[in-house]
Chains A and B, each alone.
Chain A
Amino acid sequence: MVATQIAIAPMVIALVTAILTLLTRRWTRVQQATSLLGVGAYAVAVAVMIATIYPDTILTYQLGTWPAPFGITIVADALSAFMLGLTAVLAVPSLVFSVRYIDEFGQRVSYHALFHFMLVGVTGSFLTGDIFNLFVWFEVMLMASYVLVVFYSGPDQTRAALQYVVLNLVGSAVMLLAIGGIYATVGTLNMADVARRLSDPAAYGFDPAPVLGLSALLFAVFALKAGLVPFQFWVPAAYQAAPAPVTAMLAGAVKKVGVYAIVRLYFEIFSAATLPVSLPAIGGESFLAFYGPVLFLLATASIVFGGTGAIARNDIEGLLAYSSIGQVGFIVLPLAIAASIPDLQALAIAAALVYALNHALAKGLLFLVAGAVRSGTGSTDLHDLSGLAGSAPLVSAAFFIGGLALVGIPPLSGFFAKLLVFQTALGGVNLVPLGVALLGAILTIAYVSRAWNRGFWGEQSEIASVFEPDRVQIAVLLALTLAIVLVGVGFDPILDLARAASDSALSREAYIEAVDLHTIEAASGGGGH
């Protein structure tokens, strides 16, 4: 009995913390302590969840004890747990960093509550087993992120937020359309039930073909959330506008919600349908055969556009923002290959997850470094900064390690992430994906070394020489740096977790069974009038 409550524990903890930080606004210290304790408790709850679930338990929690598919089901499997682990590992340092980074007034008014509400949205998205509920969690997450993007409410922030809000509102309308269409076609919103019905459409009396089109509509929304080209245009402005620790969360965790939704819905749920696809050069018996080339094009375009864009940028935050467009391409690339070649799916999803974890750690660290540099010097422009390595060796070391993790140097976390992506790419039909991955790696080396050479090496510029970073900020940066090294050195447990998550994402039958779907007859018989 206790075990099922663990499935909703992280969500409840984040929600309660968000409300408590609103109630304790008068007492700054109490509020900060509540917020930090809350995120700590969140991390503990996630750790307990991972320990309970690993390797293949599936926890379900029927909200309001309504039996599935009539109520909303919360499903925590190894995939959800992995994504939550990634979020928790990033949320703790980001929040500690925030306490020393965000001005006191901002913290008191709204920052802590917004941070935790965003965490609630992300957590809910990872845990829900209901497609409409996914929409609701997306909105929770977005609503908090809108306010966090416009947090400083200067000219740049308001403009970036306007763009971000309008795009996501259109995205929400599209998502609602796709969900409504899927409900009208399949007749259910419960993900497990959708999978069950799609695997045998004749028994439920519907034609699965429209679901392909509707899922493509839904896919556009997830690509928008993940910031894949051609839906990337909100990314640089929003990432530059938001406070650094928020950007670390947006790039590290919030973006991954889009990736998670693609893995969960397309590889586990929608792929239940068998539908002959016969477009030119595309053939196959499942929806995934259609998504293979689509994902590949998006991944390639993201890697090239993000990489070249990052090389052209002259400020660290802009460079990192473009870099995260390219890095999401790296996460999606193995998925693209696996969509076309079913045998590779287990390896590919594990590769995508490990890469997502590496990106969360490395990009989170780099954005926090950018934040530390901005708060210490007032600028992150590579024209103004030079020789930071002399005045702030520890911050520079953190940037160096984070950059190397992005490039993929052993023994850092990035090495194994890149290795798994390349391994998947080698299994492809031809060597084009491998070429794309290599090109992306070269672009990464180019922009990381450019940022390092311009900003951290060389003669000390005037503002760099007076840079005295905050001690707590340094401690956070070093902790994340250590995490990157540890993930790389002790990679085996991480790989096991990722493999368990990937196996879980591919065991549709176990998922359906765990959700324990009732039929109308059984429910009305049991309910009694």
Chain B
Amino acid sequence: MTEAAVYPETVLAVTLGLLFALGTFLVLRRDVVRIVWGVAILSQAANVYLVTMGRIQGGVPILAHGSGGHGPTTDPLVQALVLTAIVIGFGTTAFALVLTYRVYEEHGTIDSFELGRSS
């Protein structure tokens, strides 16, 4: 692999590490809103990971009918997968946020520690 090809994948690998660290940190917080943010970041990190798995080598996007002759292409399948995953993630995050609001209405708190104690 040439140096130019290694570069974007290294950057993405570091970004992924940071995203997962941040997501995990937020999921372990007491505040429910932060937990939901953490989960959202984790699922977005998974999406970035999926795109990275398409082997970004500085290739061109796939062209009409795969006629070839344009050098290496980036795998389009993972991008289709990520689109699906983003839509699902959008729906679930919205639901989790609404649920958080309902939890606040029912319990008057969004501190997960106090939520656990009130049982």
Q: Is A489 an interface residue (CB 8 A)?
A: no
**Interface residue from B27, B85, B102 paired with A150 (Cβ < 8 Å):** B102
Q: Is A136 an interface residue (CB 8 A)?
A: yes
Q: Digit string of A149-162 for contact with B (CB within 8 Å is 1, else 0)?
A: 01001111011011
Q: Quick one: which of B63-119 are within 8 Å of A by CB? A: 65-67, 77-78, 81, 84-85, 88, 91-92, 95-96, 99-100, 102-103, 106-107, 115, 118-119
A165 contacts B96, CB within 8 Å?
A: yes
Q: Digit string of A131-175 for contact with B (CB within 8 Å is 1, else 0)?
A: 010011001000100110010011110110110011001101110
Q: A159-B103, A529-B65 are in contact. Are A169 and B53 (CB under 8 A)?
A: no
CB-CB under 8 A from B106, the residues of chain A are 153-155, 158-159
Q: Is A524 an interface residue (CB 8 A)?
A: yes
CB-CB under 8 A from A139, the residues of chain B are 88, 92
Cα A153 to Cα B55 with chains together (Å): 45
CB-CB under 8 A from A135, the residues of chain B are 85
Known: A170-B42, A172-B92. 15 other contacts (CB 8 A): A135-B85, A139-B92, A146-B95, A158-B106, A159-B106, A169-B39, A170-B27, A173-B42, A176-B43, A176-B49, A180-B46, A180-B50, A180-B78, A183-B78, A189-B77
Cα A153 to Cα B23 with chains together (Å): 28
Q: A136-B84, A173-B46 are in contact. Are A159 and B107 (CB under 8 A)?
A: yes
Residue of B nearest to A185 (CB): B53
Report the minimal beta-carbon distance from A59 to chain B, rounded to whole angstroms: 25
Residue of B nearest to A528 (CB): B65
Q: Is A181 an interface residue (CB 8 A)?
A: yes
Q: Is A51 an interface residue (CB 8 A)?
A: no
CB-CB under 8 A from B45, the residues of chain A are 173
Listed A/B pairs (16) with beta-carbon separation below 8 Å: A135-B85, A139-B88, A153-B106, A155-B118, A158-B102, A159-B119, A162-B103, A165-B95, A169-B42, A169-B92, A172-B43, A172-B88, A173-B43, A173-B45, A180-B46, A180-B50
Cα A143 to Cα B91 with chains together (Å): 9
**Interface residue from A136, A166, A176 paired with B36 (Cβ < 8 Å):** A166
Report the minimal beta-carbon distance from A322 to chain B, rounded to whole angstroms: 16
Residue of A nearest to B41 (CB): A173
Cα A165 to Cα B91 with chains together (Å): 12
Report the minimal beta-carbon distance from A157 to chain B, rounded to whole angstroms: 8
Q: A158-B107, A162-B32, A183-B78 are in contact. Are A176 and B102 (CB under 8 A)?
A: no
Cα A158 to Cα B55 with chains together (Å): 42
Number of residues on chain A facing chain B (CB within 8 A): 32
A173 contacts B39, CB within 8 Å?
A: yes
Q: Digit string of B29-68 for contact with A (CB within 8 Å is 1, else 0)?
A: 0001001100100110111011001010000000001110
Q: Is A209 an interface residue (CB 8 A)?
A: no
**Interface residue from B66, B92, B119 paired with A524 (Cβ < 8 Å):** B66
Point out residues on B near A: beta carbons under 8 Å: 23, 27, 32, 35-36, 39, 42-43, 45-47, 49-50, 53, 55, 65-67, 77-78, 81, 84-85, 88, 91-92, 95-96, 99-100, 102-103, 106-107, 115, 118-119
CB-CB under 8 A from B55, the residues of chain A are 184
CB-CB under 8 A from B50, the residues of chain A are 176, 180
CB-CB under 8 A from B95, the residues of chain A are 143, 146-147, 165
9 residue pairs, one from A and one from B, having the closest CB atoms: A184-B53, A176-B46, A180-B50, A173-B42, A169-B39, A173-B46, A173-B43, A155-B106, A158-B103
Max count, chain B CB within 10 A of own CB: residue among A135, A181, A184: A184
Report the minimal beta-carbon distance from B2 to chain A, rounded to whole angstroms: 20
Q: Is A294 an interface residue (CB 8 A)?
A: no
CB-CB under 8 A from A419, the residues of chain B are none
**Interface residue from A146, A155, A172, A177 paired with B49 (Cβ < 8 Å):** A177
Q: A146-B95, A169-B96, A170-B27 are in contact. Are A176 and B107 (CB under 8 A)?
A: no
Cα A529 to Cα B68 with chains together (Å): 13
CB-CB under 8 A from A146, the residues of chain B are 92, 95, 99
B67 contacts A529, CB within 8 Å?
A: yes
B99 contacts A170, CB within 8 Å?
A: no
Q: A146-B95, A166-B39 are in contact. Are A153 and B53 (CB under 8 A)?
A: no
Cα A108 to Cα B95 with chains together (Å): 21
Cα A172 to Cα B45 with chains together (Å): 12
Report the minimal beta-carbon distance from A172 to chain B, rounded to whole angstroms: 7
A162 contacts B99, CB within 8 Å?
A: yes
A155 contacts B107, CB within 8 Å?
A: yes
Cα A341 to Cα B66 with chains together (Å): 47
Report the minimal beta-carbon distance from B82 to chain A, rounded to whole angstroms: 9
Cα A155 to Cα B47 with chains together (Å): 34
Report the minimal beta-carbon distance from A179 to chain B, rounded to whole angstroms: 8
B88 contacts A136, CB within 8 Å?
A: yes
Report the minimal beta-carbon distance from B40 to chain A, rounded to whole angstroms: 8
Report the minimal beta-carbon distance from A156 to chain B, rounded to whole angstroms: 8
A150 contacts B91, CB within 8 Å?
A: no
Cα A147 to Cα B92 with chains together (Å): 11
A170 contacts B91, CB within 8 Å?
A: no
A159 contacts B96, CB within 8 Å?
A: no
**Interface residue from B49, B92, B100, B102 paired with A153 (Cβ < 8 Å):** B102
CB-CB under 8 A from B96, the residues of chain A are 162, 165-166, 169
Cα A189 to Cα B65 with chains together (Å): 21
CB-CB under 8 A from A177, the residues of chain B are 46, 49
Q: Digit string of A450-485 for contact with B (CB within 8 Å is 1, else 0)?
A: 000000000000000000000000000000000000
**Interface residue from A153, A170, A176, A181 paired with B47 (Cβ < 8 Å):** A176
Report the minimal beta-carbon distance from A159 to chain B, rounded to whole angstroms: 6
B53 contacts A180, CB within 8 Å?
A: yes
CB-CB under 8 A from B115, the residues of chain A are 159, 162
